[in-house]
Amino acid sequence: MPDKGTLARVRNDQRAGKSASTQAGEFVHEEIEHIRAGKHGARSARQAIAIGLSKARRAGVNLPPPPKGATSKEAREQAKRDLKRGKHPDTAPNPRRSRAMTLKLQGEGHRIVSAAALSRHARATARRRTGS
β-partners of residue 68 are: 71
- Residue-number span of the structural domain to which 41 is assigned: 4-128
Query: Considering the chain, what is the average pLDDT of its residues?
Result: 91
Task: Quick: pLDDT tens for 43-53.
Answer: 999 999 999 99
pLDDT tops 90 at residue 2? no
Q: Given pLDDT bands bounded at 50, 70 and 90, which one contains residue 21?
A: very high
Q: List the beta bridge partners of residue 71.
A: 68
pTM for this entry: 0.86
pLDDT tens per residue across span 24-33: 999 999 999 9
* pLDDT at site 1: 74
When divided into structural domains, the chain yields a total of 1
- Residue 72 sits at φ, ψ, to 5 deg, of -75, 165
Q: HSE, CB side, 13 Å, CA atoms: give it for residue 87.
A: 8
